[in-house]
Structure 1
């Protein structure tokens, strides 16, 4: 509770200057639905609008006051996201792959996803991260659909999977398992799968090294 009060004090003190209206607080239940019953809430958000700005800046916290996300909306009902969003998560054995990902000592939270909305739709590059800050997945969106390059990396930063989306559907060759397998798609339908031998992979690595 003490930590929650401190966070609220800092947030309110920092953001109250320049706001044209009183900051509002809303609650969310276990299904992440809005609720008027604060006793049933598992998270809450504080939002307000800066003077001269049309957007509503939002910060969402869990029940203990830990930051879950930051972002902005075009409307006070918080239905039309617009602008950069940052999501946060706990450092745990699950997302550190049982301790194989080095994390700064004492670090409990990390940025897990960043990306942009434009008038309620995901647009551009969205990136998810490992707890140590390395990129996990890089995905591109156009009008809320996967569109463009997709990349996935392992915890060591090595590219494992990559390919292209077009209007939400896989198209063309997709490299799997670091290039050991090539899946070819046409309009999201798998057309062929080719697995490369160790000799082929070594030859490609040698060629790339000379290049």
Structure 2
């Protein structure tokens, strides 16, 4: 944590002179008082004009992992926009890709909004080059509305609609080769699109 003091000073200046700034240590996602057990650390401070605690989290090598804000000092209720960051090699390893970033090794991997502790609105997951990997809409913490995943070329791999956390209506999957029909989470029918096209061609002939 060589840059720890510098980061605290910079963050303090960002919040304002009246802001209260404090460091915390985390073991996984739990706050710990034992610095030697910490797997990451964070700095946070209350903006004096608002009831919001701004939060930045780093790994033990000072790489930014997460930014966001909370509506309580105990950091138990996220509220506001959150950004998450990832190492490109970690992404490549988990997705079997080979992205390379010029002049940097980390990228914005996900962003979305919390309202009083639950996901709200559109959440987006990104590829290392900035293209969209997936989009998901939330309403009061439940998937509601359109969901889509894309390959690295922008083609839809899976897509459909959620109603109160359940799949509903037409869903495309298997890289766009399968079509399923759902009714509030219950699968009603399924067809492989390639086979459907083949049958149409045979009928026309």
Range into which the TM-score falls when normalised by the shorter chain: 0.7 to 0.9
CA gap of 1:88–1:19, structure 2 versus 1, over 3 A, is farther
CA distance in 1, matches of 2:95, 2:102: 13
Q: CA deviation at 1:179?
A: 3.1
Cross-structure match for 1:46: 43
Are residues 1:23 and 2:43 paired?
no
- Given that residues 80 and 119 in structure 1 are in contact (C-alpha distance below 8 angstroms), is that contact kept between their aligned partners in structure 2? yes
Q: CA deviation at 1:68?
A: 0.6
Q: CA deviation at 1:178?
A: 4.2
TM-score (norm 2): 0.87
Report the secondary structure of 1:51's partner residue.
coil
- Given that residues 184 and 191 in structure 1 are in contact (C-alpha distance below 8 angstroms), is that contact kept between their aligned partners in structure 2? yes
- Given that residues 116 and 123 in structure 1 are in contact (C-alpha distance below 8 angstroms), is that contact kept between their aligned partners in structure 2? yes
Q: CA deviation at 1:58?
A: 0.4
CA distance in 1, matches of 2:102, 2:160: 35
- Given that residues 57 and 67 in structure 2 are in contact (C-alpha distance below 8 angstroms), is that contact kept between their aligned partners in structure 1? yes
CA distance in 1, matches of 2:95, 2:181: 32
- Given that residues 24 and 42 in structure 2 are in contact (C-alpha distance below 8 angstroms), is that contact kept between their aligned partners in structure 1? yes
Q: CA RMSD in A?
A: 2.1
CA distance in 2, matches of 1:96, 1:180: 21
Are residues 1:33 and 2:35 paired?
no
CA gap of 1:52–1:168, structure 2 versus 1, over 3 A, is same
Q: CA deviation at 1:8?
A: 4.0
CA gap of 1:50–1:18, structure 2 versus 1, over 3 A, is farther
CA distance in 2, matches of 1:187, 1:25: 45
Report the secondary structure of 1:2's partner residue.
coil
Cross-structure match for 1:137: 134
CA distance in 1, matches of 2:195, 2:7: 54
CA distance in 2, matches of 1:96, 1:160: 14
Cross-structure match for 1:158: 155
Report the secondary structure of 1:197's partner residue.
helix
- Given that residues 8 and 43 in structure 2 are in contact (C-alpha distance below 8 angstroms), is that contact kept between their aligned partners in structure 1? no
Are residues 1:181 and 2:178 paired?
yes
Q: CA deviation at 1:191?
A: 1.6
Cross-structure match for 1:59: 56
CA distance in 1, matches of 2:113, 2:15: 25
Structure 2: tracts of 5 or more residues without a match: 201-205
Cross-structure match for 1:97: 96
Q: Per-residue displacement from partner, 1:142-189 (whole Å, max 9, x unpaired)?
A: 111111000100011111111000111101110123432101112212
CA distance in 1, matches of 2:165, 2:85: 26
CA gap of 1:6–1:123, structure 2 versus 1, over 3 A, is same
- Given that residues 2 and 62 in structure 2 are in contact (C-alpha distance below 8 angstroms), is that contact kept between their aligned partners in structure 1? no
